[in-house]
Structure 1
Amino acid sequence: MSRELFAVGFKTTPYWQDTAPKVPLEEVPLPEEIDTLIIGAGYTGLNAALETAREGLGTLVLDAEQPGWGCSLRNGGQLSTSLKPSFAKLTRRYGKELATSLCEEGQASLDHMHALSKQDGIDMGLRETGRFHGAHKPRLYETLARECAEGHPVWKTDTFMVSKSDMASELGTDAYHGGIVYPRHCSIDVSRYHPSLLGKAIGAGALVKGLCRVLYIERLATGFRVLTSEGSVKAGKVILAANGYAGPLSPWHQRRIIPIGSYVIATEELPKETVDRLFPTDRVLSDTRKLVYYYRLSPDRKRILFGGRVSLNETDPRNSALKLHRDMTALFPELARVRISHAWMGFVGYTFDALAHAGEDNGLYFAGGYCGSGVGMASYLGMRIGRKAAGREKAPSAFERIPFPTRPLYSGKPWFLAPSVLVYRLRDRFGV
């Protein structure tokens, strides 16, 4: 039965890569010297490059793979205000003023995506679809209802509750005990955003070179020497924008970013009547589990894209595909024989405080640790750090003002991941 779940032509590459337009890249020889060198040609790096290039700085963006190979073409295309900790938790940690600033920048990350789409003309298929967040236990529905009634001290959420008896208006499943809708959350077409952003950065004057791995960053008396697989470049400033793919380039950052695999499947094309019954809206979807599911329809409403963390340790996408299919079928039993056309994974950059971080150390700039909400926040903090490197912005982001924690014995390999997943599974089982 498991073999029958894979469609003819099954691929272990992201669904988005099938339809993403190819941006022609000129062969870029490594310059001897550049004003700003950016490591990583994903959302963070290209948003930063857009800012530095527009300011007239010589900008070189390097990627170990083809631009967009990482999570920029592997994510679920969901947009929110990008903060996981609640306002109350942030206030306990940092005080009300900084907690408010963090939330304001969470909203700014969503606003930035609207600005990129409307003002900069970047094609991303952005739609304000809203998010349905399902309660997988009755008690958690009451928690969501209190949140909805109390509102948010910073965000204008316009949330509303959907009871279990009204679930058919949102989602064709009996697995949830109702849920909450965040109308201002959005979806994008991942296959369109990165290519459009890449073209815009190149058009602004940035040099973008793929298949050029950065091996070492050496600090000089003034600036840096960056050793790559094709030679070395002297750079006045360096922006580290590789998030969960940065590896050992900066040991300090490596001890603070936790690369965690997130796995996604795409189904084969479904009958329109099935899609319309199970997904009467185009919302992006998630739920109250600690090991959260995130899912949605493809932009053409023909497939389900279903993602989450389903294994204790990193595994082959084929293995995770069967587990994700099982969990999808638990929500939608009639999909039991629907086949999988694509299965893939990407490394999310997580942090010990579940918050993104940004900053600078004498010309070495960084942004990362988006904790699974990276589409908007990576774009926004890439923009902020690019402006800072270009000298346009002096005030630090709130994400630069918070401590960036690590843990003893952690050096970049998350040995604690499997027991943590087990604990989260138990908490999800009992709804705690």
Structure 2
Amino acid sequence: MDTGVFAADYSATPYWWRAAPPDTRDGGTLPAEVDIAIVGAGYTGLHAGIQTARAGLVTLVLDADVPGWGCSTRNGGQVSTSVKPSFASLSARFGPSLATDILREGQASLDFTQRFIAGEGIDADFRVVGRFHGAHLAKSYDRLARDIAAPNPAFETGAYMVPRAGMAGETGSGAYHGGAVFPRHASLDPGKYHRGLLQICRHAGAQVVAGCRVTELERQSRGFLLRTERGALRAGKVILATNGYSGPLSQWHRRRVVPIGSYVIATGEIPTPLMDRLFPTDRILSDTRRLVYYYRPSPDRSRVLFGGRVSLAESDPDRTGPVLLRELIRLFPDLRGTRIGHSWSGTVAYSFDTLMHAGEDAGLFHAMGYCGSGVGMAGYLGMRIGRRAAGLDGGETAFARIPFPTRPLYTGSPWFLAPSVLVYRLRDRFGW
């Protein structure tokens, strides 16, 4: 570990845990039987639990660790319209009608997150700040401009291009060849958001049990038998809300999501004049690399949070932190001498079609595969699948109308990840 780049108070825990530390209550004794068992107490599971508990169903939310231990408190706090493929790409796969519905779901996830936080009174530092998406190559700027101008019948993005000459108003980095602004994207504090969800879910009547890994899921004539590290129970219906932490519990789902580590640092404190010069807005930022960097000022504008994929294989945040810092300084040379205050990682889940998925198999529900864009979409699809499990209106989603693909020989361990990352690096370098 390169100790020279770490601050004296360095912590290998998420920055967000400073204001919202994990809730370590164990949640009590397991019941013998419930109407709904939810596996995973992140955004997806808690939103699903809020819906089923408010519908009067006996709801149990189980987590292998403390609630929110996974990416729900480890992400960068960027809220977008989530869907990566373009209308043209989706139309070629599914036809224009379903493509439109899929894109509308992306906008709906952003709108839902904003309405839910405001309506429930969650203190999560939610702000509509917009996103600046930088072109890391000149040809990337041209491609981005074409994408912005392409038809999108689902919703108006309001996006506009910023040429290199106008960059000073967006960022103090000279590394980009211009970029695009998406004015409706937002930011939040992931830890505070999760804390608010957990409180609401419990208040709705759901029991949330921590440190209770589900080790086996057995379908029975009426419902399911769940075996856990703390005993067994029966459930009428089960919702899998595990995303990048799905593991072997359901091999069918495990074969359809690819767990990938994403690494993040928070710098030490940065003087206000320097922060104002380098980040003149509160926008969230990303770029056109396939191995994308995503970053932003902290909600109080005292630090920079910077994340991305920087290693071929999964690694230790103590090792990836200095690499991320070097990339941050490459983008912003004026940050030379800045140290790392926090370095951590989380596991996201990609799908083979780069789309999120939700659905049901005779009482076994799932929502997962957020492809690194789960801050808004995870809660939105958790809400949808929760309402569907409860038999309520509003449980429909376009992501239940598309196939959930896998690949031959894939069993859940991404053996192809290192060569894929290497290829993406080459494509990013040369703009292929």
Question: 2:136·2:175 contact (CA, 8 Å) conserved in 1?
Answer: yes
The reply on whether 1:301 has 2:301 as its aligned counterpart is yes
Structure 1: gaps spanning 5 or more residues: none
After TM superposition, the structure 1 stretch with the greater mean CA deviation from structure 2, 348-357 or 139-148, is: 139-148
Task: Report the 3-state secondary structure (helix = DSSP H, G, I; strand = E; otherwise coil) of the residue aligned with 2:18.
Answer: helix
Residue of structure 2 in register with 1:149 after alignment: 149
The Cα shift of 1:18 comes to 1.3
Residue of structure 2 in register with 1:166 after alignment: 166
Following the alignment from structure 1 to structure 2, what is the Cα–Cα distance between the partners of residues 336 and 256?
42
Question: 1:367·1:385 contact (CA, 8 Å) conserved in 2?
Answer: yes
Task: Report the 3-state secondary structure (helix = DSSP H, G, I; strand = E; otherwise coil) of the residue aligned with 2:216.
Answer: strand
1:227-280: CA deviations, max 9, x gaps?
Answer: 000100110000000111110000000000100000000100000011000000
Following the alignment from structure 2 to structure 1, what is the Cα–Cα distance between the partners of residues 290 and 191?
28
The reply on whether 1:38 has 2:38 as its aligned counterpart is yes
Residue of structure 2 in register with 1:280 after alignment: 280
Following the alignment from structure 2 to structure 1, what is the Cα–Cα distance between the partners of residues 411 and 27?
36
Residue of structure 2 in register with 1:373 after alignment: 373
The reply on whether 1:358 has 2:358 as its aligned counterpart is yes
After TM superposition, the structure 1 stretch with the greater mean CA deviation from structure 2, 149-158 or 417-426, is: 149-158
Task: Write the mapping of 1:268-417 to structure 2, written as runs, cut at 5 A.
Answer: 268-393=268-393, 396-417=396-417
**For residue 179 of structure 2, what is the amino acid of its counterpart?**
G
**For residue 253 of structure 1, what is the amino acid of its counterpart?**
H
Following the alignment from structure 1 to structure 2, what is the Cα–Cα distance between the partners of residues 220 and 394?
28
Task: Report the 3-state secondary structure (helix = DSSP H, G, I; strand = E; otherwise coil) of the residue aligned with 1:82.
Answer: coil
TM-score of the superposition, structure 2-length normalised? 0.98
1:392-414: CA deviations, max 9, x gaps?
Answer: 03763110111111111100000
Residue of structure 2 in register with 1:431 after alignment: 431
Question: 1:255·1:410 contact (CA, 8 Å) conserved in 2?
Answer: yes
Following the alignment from structure 1 to structure 2, what is the Cα–Cα distance between the partners of residues 302 and 106?
31
The reply on whether 1:193 has 2:188 as its aligned counterpart is no
Structure 2: gaps spanning 5 or more residues: none
Residue of structure 1 in register with 2:140 after alignment: 140
The Cα shift of 1:24 comes to 7.6
Question: 1:23·1:199 contact (CA, 8 Å) conserved in 2?
Answer: no
After TM superposition, the structure 1 stretch with the greater mean CA deviation from structure 2, 118-127 or 128-137, is: 118-127
The Cα shift of 1:27 comes to 3.9
Question: 2:22·2:66 contact (CA, 8 Å) conserved in 1?
Answer: no
Task: Write the mapping of 1:249-268 to structure 2, written as runs, cut at 5 A.
Answer: 249-268=249-268
The Cα shift of 1:326 comes to 1.1
Residue of structure 2 in register with 1:29 after alignment: 29
TM-score of the superposition, structure 1-length normalised? 0.98
Following the alignment from structure 1 to structure 2, what is the Cα–Cα distance between the partners of residues 22 and 174?
38
1:89-144: CA deviations, max 9, x gaps?
Answer: 00000001110110111111011101111222233221000000000011111122
Change (3 A) 1:68 1:325: same
**For residue 60 of structure 2, what is the amino acid of its counterpart?**
L
Following the alignment from structure 1 to structure 2, what is the Cα–Cα distance between the partners of residues 195 and 25?
13
Following the alignment from structure 1 to structure 2, what is the Cα–Cα distance between the partners of residues 335 and 280?
15
The Cα shift of 1:21 comes to 5.4
The Cα shift of 1:67 comes to 0.3
Following the alignment from structure 1 to structure 2, what is the Cα–Cα distance between the partners of residues 62 and 267?
34
Residue of structure 2 in register with 1:209 after alignment: 209
Question: 2:26·2:210 contact (CA, 8 Å) conserved in 1?
Answer: no
The Cα shift of 1:195 comes to 0.3
Question: 1:134·1:177 contact (CA, 8 Å) conserved in 2?
Answer: yes
Residue of structure 2 in register with 1:127 after alignment: 127
Following the alignment from structure 1 to structure 2, what is the Cα–Cα distance between the partners of residues 372 and 22?
22
Following the alignment from structure 2 to structure 1, what is the Cα–Cα distance between the partners of residues 94 and 27?
47
**For residue 194 of structure 1, what is the amino acid of its counterpart?**
H
**For residue 120 of structure 2, what is the amino acid of its counterpart?**
D
Change (3 A) 1:424 1:22: closer
Change (3 A) 1:21 1:116: farther
**For residue 182 of structure 1, what is the amino acid of its counterpart?**
F
Task: Report the 3-state secondary structure (helix = DSSP H, G, I; strand = E; otherwise coil) of the residue aligned with 1:119.
Answer: helix
Following the alignment from structure 2 to structure 1, what is the Cα–Cα distance between the partners of residues 257 and 93?
20
The Cα shift of 1:25 comes to 4.0
